[in-house]
Amino acid sequence: MGKPTGFMEYERRVSRDVEPRERIKHFKEFHEHLTLEEQQVQGARCMDCGVPFCQAGMTLGGMTSGCPLHNLVPEWNDLVYTGNWEEAYKRLHKTNNFPEFTSRVCPALCEAACTCGLHDEPVSTKENEYAIIENAYEKGYAGPKPPKVRTGKKVAVVGSGPSGLAVADQLNKRGHSVTVLERSDRVGGLLMYGIPNMKLEKQVIDRKVKVMEAEGVSFVTGADVGKNMKAEKLLKEYDRVVLCCGSSQPRDISAPGRDAKGIYFAVDFLGRNTKSLLDSEFRDKQYVDTKDKHVVIIGGGDTGNDCVGTAIRHGAKSVTQIEMMPKAPDGRDDNNPWPQWPRVCKTDYGQEEAIAVYGHDPRIYESTVKEFVKDKSGNLKAVKIVSLKWEKDPETGRMVMKEVPGSEKTLEAQIVLIAAGFLGSQKYVTDAFKVAVDGRTNVKTEEGRFATSADKVFVAGDMHTGQSLVVKAIRQGRECAREVDESLMGYSNMYVQ
């Protein structure tokens, strides 16, 4: 806890966002953070609540409530309040390998479950976390700490997203020799090419990778296992292999005109944008340019919002976001009580920017694309959309979506970005290692376990569970690392809360 009466004495304060019209001029992070002294006051707001739901990470109402990493939130909030920043870092890092990532991209499940938020504003836990880790780098607390003893065991981790990095970090700290294989040209996986720079600047990833390298982890880029690197080679050279390749198959949209030029998957759009930015500050023109074009984005989640923000930064003439689901309520419904995750309407940074630039929210709810319209040259020129309504199927009793007759309308569009989620792992990887998959093509294991059907092969992250949050991928990586360690040594002393 912080100060016993702090939640009554101090109001919640968070970093100030740069105004939308100003921040769209660049691809940098745009938050002006509090000073350490101001952040200590925010730590004081953590109340002696008795049951800290913030660190529960349990499933309520079908969604996660509290931190899946079971971060020791009240402990390091109190340490922030008392100004004991080094100890705060140690307590934070005990459960979270990468607070520099989660303090930027996590949706703050901890804050949604904060007891202080039941009748007031929750503690600014996410920004307390940011202050802890950034201060730790500045003061040297977060520097390299190589293991003193090596076990002689070798582990290959395929994929360098959040789960792969967590596996590697944990196993390396245990003393195993870890090599991370990344098919792209840069380390980071989803963090590098799936999340745009304005949410997570890439030097933040590079900074942590350099620490891990100094601690003994080896990174190999351009290693596409199953294509230019054989699975058999890894199984022969390493004692264990861990697959952390993500949920890499984007869900497509089947509609007439799908072959039109100008339709891209969101993950490709965002990835090309970041690569061009890092390679040449966009001078190489190897990105999808939305300047002066009408852009339609299919999908209403975080990835869709990232596409909105990216398209606006390149000067799109208009941006429209199509969502199949109805608009969520502005406040909690009675059937969605605290500490469940609040199913309320969220206006994210991209939508804020669209409102500032175009004068209206870009989202059209309860709609779907009926047809992609091409010109004579095969280029996309418009999309036809139709409204949907939810009705109960009389035979099954389930709610189903049906088109609303006469609701069709046409939107001008030269670019469409499909941000409809992902279906599972990629077949060439699972085939290469001969691992069993489930009906969603996620790699199959026993419930709560990480060993696959193939000897010496383990799995973690989205490749195991399907598309999820960065914080959950880190948790998966930590748990998987413990199981790998136990298989190698016969026991494990790894700490997994």
Asked if residue 254 belongs to a domain, the reply is no
pLDDT, tens digit, for every residue of 72-110? 999 999 999 999 999 999 999 999 999 999 999 999 999
What is the 3 state secondary structure string of the chain?
CCCCCHHHHCCCCCCEECCHHHHCCCCCCCEECCCHHHHHHHHCCCCCCCCCHHHCCEEECCEEECCCCCCCHHHHHHHHHCCCHHHHHHHHHHHCCCHHHHHHHCCCHHHHCCHHHCCCCCCCHHHHHHHHHHHHHHHCCCCCCCCCCCCCCEEEEECCCHHHHHHHHHHHHHCCEEEEEECCCCCCCHHHHCCCCCCCCHHHHHHHHHHHHHCCCEEEECCCECCCECHHHHHHHCCEEEECCCCCCECCCCCCCCCCECEEEHHHHHHHHHHHHHHHCCCCCCCCCCCCCEEEEECCCHHHHHHHHHHHHCCCCEEEEECCCCCCCCCCCCCCCCCCCCCCCCCCHHHHHHHHHHCCCCEECCEEEEEEEECCCCEEEEEEEEEEEEEECCCCCCEEEEECCCCCEEEECCEEEECCCECCCCHHHHHHHCCCECCCCCECCCCCCCECCCCCEEECCHHHHCCCCHHHHHHHHHHHHHHHHHHHHCCCCCCCC
Mention every residue, 6+ apart, whose C-beta is less than 8 A from residue 121: 11, 12
pLDDT, tens digit, for every residue of 17-42? 999 999 999 999 999 999 999 999 99
Residue 48 phi, psi (nearest 5): -80, 75
Last residue of one domain, picked from the residues 387, 403, 418? 418
The residues with which 368 forms a beta bridge, in sequence order, are: 386
Determine the residue type at 486: E
pLDDT band at 248 (very low <50, low <70, confident <90, very high): confident
pLDDT tops 80 at residue 497: no
pLDDT tops 90 at residue 496: no
Write down the pLDDT at residue 337. 94
Q: Please give the structure tokens belonging to residue 224.
A: 């596409």
pLDDT, tens digit, for every residue of 297-343? 999 899 999 999 999 999 999 999 999 999 999 999 999 999 999 99
Last residue of one domain, picked from the residues 139, 170, 195? 139
pLDDT band at 394 (very low <50, low <70, confident <90, very high): confident
Taking phi first (over 0 means left), then psi (-120 to 50 degrees means alpha), and beta for anything else, what does residue 290 get?
A: alpha
pLDDT tops 80 at residue 378: yes
Q: Based on the fold, state whether residues 463 and 413 are members of the same structural domain.
A: no
Q: Based on the fold, state whether residues 73 and 198 are members of the same structural domain.
A: no
CATH number of residue 107's parent domain: 1.10.1060.10
Q: Based on the fold, state whether residues 14 and 132 are members of the same structural domain.
A: yes
Q: Based on the fold, state whether residues 406 and 431 are members of the same structural domain.
A: no
pLDDT tops 90 at residue 344: yes
pLDDT band at 459 (very low <50, low <70, confident <90, very high): very high
Short-list 296, 314, 246, CA closest to 418 = 296
Question: For residue 339, is the peptide bond before it cis, meaning its omega torsion is within 30 degrees of 0?
Answer: yes
Q: Based on the fold, state whether residues 459 and 475 are members of the same structural domain.
A: yes
pLDDT tops 80 at residue 6: yes
Helix crossing, 36-43 with 125-139: angle to 10°?
A: 140
Asked if residue 253 belongs to a domain, the reply is no
The residues with which 403 forms a beta bridge, in sequence order, are: 388
Counting beta carbons within 10 angstroms of the beta carbon of residue 291, is it exposed (0 to 12), middle (13 to 18) or buried (19 or more)? Answer: exposed
Counting beta carbons within 10 angstroms of the beta carbon of residue 13, is it exposed (0 to 12), middle (13 to 18) or buried (19 or more)? Answer: middle
Mean of the per-residue pLDDT values of the chain: 96
Q: Based on the fold, state whether residues 380 and 484 are members of the same structural domain.
A: no
Asked if residue 145 belongs to a domain, the reply is no
Mention every residue, 6+ apart, whose C-beta is less than 8 A from residue 405: none
Q: Based on the fold, state whether residues 475 and 445 are members of the same structural domain.
A: yes
Domain span at 90: 6-139
How many independent structural domains does the chain possess? 3
Write down the pLDDT at residue 362. 98
What does the pLDDT average to over 379-386? Answer: 98
Q: Based on the fold, state whether residues 125 and 72 are members of the same structural domain.
A: yes
CATH number of residue 348's parent domain: 3.50.50.60
Asked if residue 1 belongs to a domain, the reply is no
Q: Based on the fold, state whether residues 13 and 86 are members of the same structural domain.
A: yes
Write down the pLDDT at residue 196. 98
pLDDT, tens digit, for every residue of 199-227? 999 999 999 999 999 999 999 999 999 99
Rounded to whole angstroms, how far apart are CA atoms 269 and 310? 9
Last residue of one domain, picked from the residues 139, 171, 202? 139
Short-list 104, 59, 54, 50, CA closest to 76 = 54
Place of tokens 């792209």: 184
pLDDT tops 90 at residue 395: no
- Are 210 and 187 in contact by the 8 Å Cβ rule? The answer is no
Q: Based on the fold, state whether residues 281 and 377 are members of the same structural domain.
A: yes
Write down the pLDDT at residue 331. 92
Rounded to whole angstroms, how far apart are CA atoms 408 and 250? 26
Q: Based on the fold, state whether residues 128 and 232 are members of the same structural domain.
A: no
Write down the pLDDT at residue 403. 94
What does the pLDDT average to over 487-493? Answer: 96
Asked if residue 258 belongs to a domain, the reply is no
Rounded to whole angstroms, how far apart are CA atoms 363 and 386? 14
In this structure, the number of other CB atoms found within 10 A of the CB of residue 243 comes to: 32
Asked if residue 183 belongs to a domain, the reply is yes
Q: Based on the fold, state whether residues 303 and 279 are members of the same structural domain.
A: yes
Asked if residue 116 belongs to a domain, the reply is yes
Percent of the chain with pLDDT over 70: 100
Write down the pLDDT at residue 42. 97
Asked if residue 146 belongs to a domain, the reply is no
